[in-house]
Structure 1
Amino acid sequence: MWNTALWVLIVCASACTVGALLGSPPLGRMWRVDVLELRRRRRMIEVLEENTHPLHRELDAVGVDLLTVARS
């Protein structure tokens, strides 16, 4: 009885170990919807950064000092 139970335990433990080694980790898998949502959020952040304070960006592009503009 103990001999059979021991062999069943060894076989199951071996099968689980092999399955864990060959299978991909669950944290590394991302569903298609999750990947699309992540891309949308990154794009939204890019667009918001591009459109935030366009006046400051234009003044920096031409080389105008913002402190000089603020004082005048």
Structure 2
Amino acid sequence: MDIATEKAEILKRLDQVNDLSLVSAIRSLLDFGLSKQNLENNEMENSINRGLQQAERGELRPHEEVIAEIRDRYKL
């Protein structure tokens, strides 16, 4: 199933719920998931910005050097 179908199924089932505590629990779960997603997006953006700042300062490593280090570390 794709995500749009999954969401539609959840909405149909949610529409049948008449228990306020269950609806509140679902809301809390969604709030938590969305805040975690936003945090991950912010962390990714911060990481990218740190990398760009390092590049601007000339703190770069050649691709070949990084690959060689990974191959050595993981015995590839």
Relative to the length of structure 2, the TM-score reads 0.36
Higher relative contact order (CA 8 A, sep 6+): 1
Rg (Cα) greater in structure: 1
